[in-house]
Structure 1
C-alpha cells in the first residue's frame, strides 16, 4: 500500500503509460490490427486460431506473445530487482526500449511483421521494468488489473473501510494517461501513419535522459571504513 509517492515515480509512471497507449493504438490501427501492449486479448485470439487450425495466425500471434515475454525477460536481465529504486539500470532499460521502438517504426514502414515483434518486445520490457512500489503492483502498458484494483478500492471505500488514497490516485493517473496516449496515437496515425511512434520514442528517450541525470545528482553511498586492528 502506497502511503507516500515520490514525484519521480508519479511522473515516470504517467509518461510511460501515455507512451504505451500511443504505441498500442498505432499497432492496432496499422496493418497487423494486433495489440502490442498487453497479452490477454492476444491469448484469446491465439486460442481461437488454434481452434480453427489457422496456421498463419498461430504463427503471427504466437510470435507477438513470445516477443512480449522476451521483452520482460530482457527487463529482468538488465534491471534484476523487484521493487522501484533509483539506479542506472532503469536508464539503460529505457534506452533499449527506445531503440526497439525506433526499429519497429522502420520495420512497420516496410509493412514488415517484425515491426510488431519489436514493438511488443518494447512493451514487455516496459511493463516488467516498473515492477512494484511499497507493495503496490505498478503496470503501465495495460489497464485490466489496474482497473480491477481501482474498483475493489472504491468498493471498500463505499463500504466504509480504509483505503490508500495515494495508491488509488496514482492508479487513476496511469489509467487516464494510457487513455490519453491512445487518443493521441489514433489522432496522429490517421495523419502521419506510423510516424505517430516518434511521440513514444521521444518520450522514452527523454525519460531515460532525465532519469540518468537525476541518478547522477544523488550522493554516492560511502562504504564504511574498516577498523584497523590495534597492534598488541
Structure 2
C-alpha cells in the first residue's frame, strides 16, 4: 500500500500515460485502425478474424500483438526486476522507446504497416517498464485494470474500509493524463496527421534525458559506474 509517493514516480507516470494516450489515438485514427497501447481489443479483433477465416487480418493483427509482447520482453531484458526503484536502467529503456516512436512516425508517414509494429513495441516496452510500487500495480498505456482498481478502492471507501488515498490519487492522475493525451493526439492527428507522433516521441526523449541526468547524481549509480 502506497503511503507516500515519490515525485519521480508521480511525474513519470503522469508524463508516460499522457504520451501513451496520444500515441494510441493517432494509431487508431490512422490507416491501420488498431490500438497500439494495449492488447485486449486487438485480441478480440484477432479472434473475429480467425472466425471469419480472414487470413490477412489474422496476420497483421497477430503481428501487432507480438510486437507489444516483444517490447515488454525488451523492457524485462534491459531493466530487470518488477518493482520501481530510482537508479535502475529506466533511462536506457526510455531512449529505446523514444527511438521506436520516432521510427514509427517515419514508417506511418510512408504508409508502412511496420509503423504499427514499432509503435506497439514502444507501448509494450513502456507498460512493462512501469511495474509495481509498494504493492500497487502501475500501468501507463491502458486504463482497464486501473479503472477496476479505482472502482474497487472507491467501493471499499464507501463501505467504510481503509484505503490508500495516495494510490487512488495516483491512479486518478494517470487516468486523466492518458485521457488528456488521447484528446491531444486526436486533435493533432486531425490537423497534421502522423506528425502528431512527434509530440509523444519528444516527450519520452526528454524524459529519458532528464532521468539519465538525475540518476547520474545517485550514490548507488556512481558506485556501480566506478566498479564497472
Fold equivalence (TM over 0.5): yes
Which protein is bigger by CA-based radius of gyration? 1
Instruction: Find the residue that maps to 1:35 and give its secondary structure.
Output: coil
Shift of 1:88: 4.8
In the alignment, which residue of structure 2 is the partner of 1:226?
none
Give the length in aligned residue pairs. Answer: 223
1:92 equivalent in alignment to 2:92: yes
Shift of 1:198: 0.7
Alpha-carbon distance change, 55 to 222 in structure 1, aligned in 2, over 3 angstroms: closer
Instruction: Find the residue that maps to 2:59 and give its secondary structure.
Output: helix
Gaps of at least 5 residues in structure 1 are: 224-232
Give the alignment of 1:1-232 within 5 angstroms: 1-220=1-220
Distance 2:130 2:10 in 1: 12
Distance 1:184 1:73 in 2: 29
8 Å CA contact 1:88–1:212 kept in 2: the answer is no
Structure 1 residues 39-94: Cα deviation after superposition (integer angstroms, max 9, x where no partner): 10000000000000000100010000000000000000000111011125100000
Instruction: Find the residue that maps to 1:217 and give its secondary structure.
Output: coil
- Runs of at least 4 residues off by over 6 Å: none
Structure 1 residues 124-162: Cα deviation after superposition (integer angstroms, max 9, x where no partner): 000000110001000000000000000000000000000
Gaps of at least 5 residues in structure 2 are: none
TM-score (ref. length: structure 1): 0.94
8 Å CA contact 1:37–1:142 kept in 2: the answer is yes
TM-score (ref. length: structure 2): 0.96
